[in-house]
Amino acid sequence: MSDWGIALIAAGSAIAGSVVTGWYARSAGLRQAAAARHAGDRQADALLDSVRMTLRAESGHREFALRRQTYAEFLGAAEVRIVAERNGRGQADEDVLLQRALGGVLLEGPPDAADAAQRLVDALRRHERPDEVKRAKLAFVAVAQECCRPR
């Protein structure tokens, strides 16, 4: 065989080897890219789940804080009315404040708290005995505490 023939065979072998090596390198690169994309998708899903859980928890905390504030405002207005009832020196705006605070509890709920608040207001409006009013107030406090307890 001549030098040219040997050179052509060597060049052909080198080219064929490069093509085969390139093909396998390309296949490996595609598999690595798919694996990286899959890992990135899993990481993005995990991050989104974490953000969703954080937002859900923050929303729950805001809900409890608003509920606690509403209940505290109602108890404050009821206490002003209870003291005024004891002293016999009530003012018209105390009734308005109590009614407004009751409205907040009725809107905020849940129904158990709204019912207990309504019973307390009804006891005050009927000028029931102090122990009955106190019992209605304690019933509302118990329900409010249960409603504000994290689950």
pTM of the model: 0.62
Q: How confident is the model at residue 151 (pLDDT cuts 50, 70, 90)?
A: low
Cβ burial 93-115 (10 Å sphere, 16+ → b, else e): ebbebbeebbebbbebeeeebbb
Please tell me the distance from the alpha carbon of residue 60 to that of residue 36, in angstroms, as a whole number. Answer: 36
**pLDDT per residue over 87-104, tens digit each?**
776 666 778 888 899 899
**pLDDT per residue over 30-70, tens digit each?**
888 788 888 787 887 777 777 777 777 777 778 888 888 99
* Domain assignments of the chain as residue spans, ordered by start: 3-148
pLDDT score recorded for residue 2: 77
Helix (H) or strand (E) holding 13: helix 3-87
Q: How many CB atoms lie within 10 A of CB 88?
A: 6
* Radius of gyration for the chain, computed over Cα atoms and rounded to the nearest angstrom: 38
Q: Are 123 and 130 in contact (CB under 8 A)?
A: no
pLDDT score recorded for residue 135: 92
The CATH architecture one would assign to domain 3-148 is: Up-down Bundle (1.20)
